Amino acid sequence: MKIRWISRYGDCLALAQRMADEGHDVSVALLDVPKHMGEGLVEHVDPWNAGLDEPTIILFDAPGRGRMAEGLAKQGHAVFGSSPLADSLETPTFGRQVAQSCGILIDDDADGIPINLECWYVQGRPCPSTQSASLELTRLFPGDLGPETNPISAITWFWRNPGNKLYAMTLSRIEDFLGRFGFTGPLTMKLVVRERDKRPVFRGFAGSLQWPATHARMADINISVAEWFAAPAQGNTVTVSPTYEYCGALRITVPPYPYPGAALDLPPRPVSGKLLPLDVRVQDGQMMTGGIDGVLGDVIARHSDVQGLCAALYEAAKAVQVADKQYRADVADDAERRLGTLHEWKYC
């Protein structure tokens, strides 16, 4: 297959590399980061539309490119990961209007348990095996201290029973709306299960792939990475056949300055359990830090319980040899607290 990733910040680099290792013709177009990010991991193209003279599977890793995606689909390419509707749903006003019109509770001040629900859709129809939930941490330091960042860890799991109560009260209620528009793409609903009455309330939509949760789910799909994305792009329902164990991703960071070009004790083609690379590059066969945003990448694992999962994540993180690396060391405590509460409230 010929696959082109169109990337804002390089989030797709590890997935693109995996697809290339599976034998596909894969390239990445970086839009909003320096072009040397991920150099040597996978073929880079510039401009973004270079070589798109034949039908190509085109994947987006971030929001905000819906019109571009729509234009490419009209040209005959198979597109997944962005659309005008997805961009609209991410805007707070329109997203709230849609959620409220579908009978989902709105409460901006609710205290409770944050959780995200995700499903992939093809022409307005949900792909049941992709229904999943995730718990994320978004602050840099243990104890939820430090600045708010993009998510730096994710504990995820696929739902064994797609008809579970939490899904039925939230994400399933917008299926008719998505069906009217023939929506294709991933969609995440960000929720808080309210403490005072144990009911889920809406916090927002994300109409694009979520990171590092997408990396985490790689640990529990039993198809090739390319097939995982190509099937919905081509209009086909995807079945990932998960084990339904917990899977997780832990983000490894370093200060971007003064560490560009620091050698990493990892092979240039990462293997299972090692780093899924982001802000790195390969030069003369040596993987090294890129020095752009300091996010080296994610380690991923899967386990039947959260403590075992996090132990595997920490072991993989310790194996990444680089000065001044940082990662959250309290992921297990946070996940067990939230999962314990959700279980008590009969949501999982």
Residue 337, pLDDT score: 95
The residue with greater pLDDT, 4 or 294, is: 4
pLDDT above 80: residue 142: no
Tens of pLDDT, residues 143-182 = 776 677 789 999 999 987 666 899 999 999 999 999 999 9
Residue 262, pLDDT score: 77
Report residue 18's pLDDT band, with 50, 70 and 90 as the boundaries: very high
Tell me the C-alpha distance between 291 and 296, whole Å. Answer: 9
Residue 160, pLDDT score: 79
Domain ranges of the chain: 85-344
Tens of pLDDT, residues 60-99 = 999 999 999 999 999 999 999 999 999 999 999 999 999 9
200 in Cβ contact with 55 (< 8 Å): no
Tens of pLDDT, residues 197-254 = 999 999 999 999 999 999 999 999 999 999 999 999 999 999 999 999 999 999 999 8
pTM over 0.75? The answer is: yes
Write out the E strands in 53-194: 57-60, 78-80, 112-122, 125-126, 132-141, 145-158, 185-194
Residue 312, pLDDT score: 96
For residues 293-321, average pLDDT: 94
Residue 29, pLDDT score: 98
pLDDT above 80: residue 320: yes
Rg of the chain (C-alpha set)? 19
For residues 1-11, average pLDDT: 97
Residue 162, pLDDT score: 60
| Percent of the chain with pLDDT strictly greater than 90 | 78
Residue 145, pLDDT score: 67
For residues 19-27, average pLDDT: 96
Residue 266, pLDDT score: 72
254 in Cβ contact with 240 (< 8 Å): no
H or E, element range at 310: helix 306-318
Tens of pLDDT, residues 247-275 = 999 999 988 765 677 777 777 665 545 78
Measured at the CA of 255, the angle between CA 252 and CA 257, to 5 degrees, comes to 140
Crossing angle (nearest 10°) for helices 13-21 and 225-233: 100
For residues 277-303, average pLDDT: 90
Q: What is the largest CA-CA distance in the chain?
A: 59
The residue with greater pLDDT, 139 or 171, is: 171
Residue 289, pLDDT score: 86
85-344 CATH: 3.30.470.20
Residue 143, pLDDT score: 72
Tell me the C-alpha distance between 145 and 334, whole Å. Answer: 13
Please give the mean pLDDT across all residues of the chain: 92
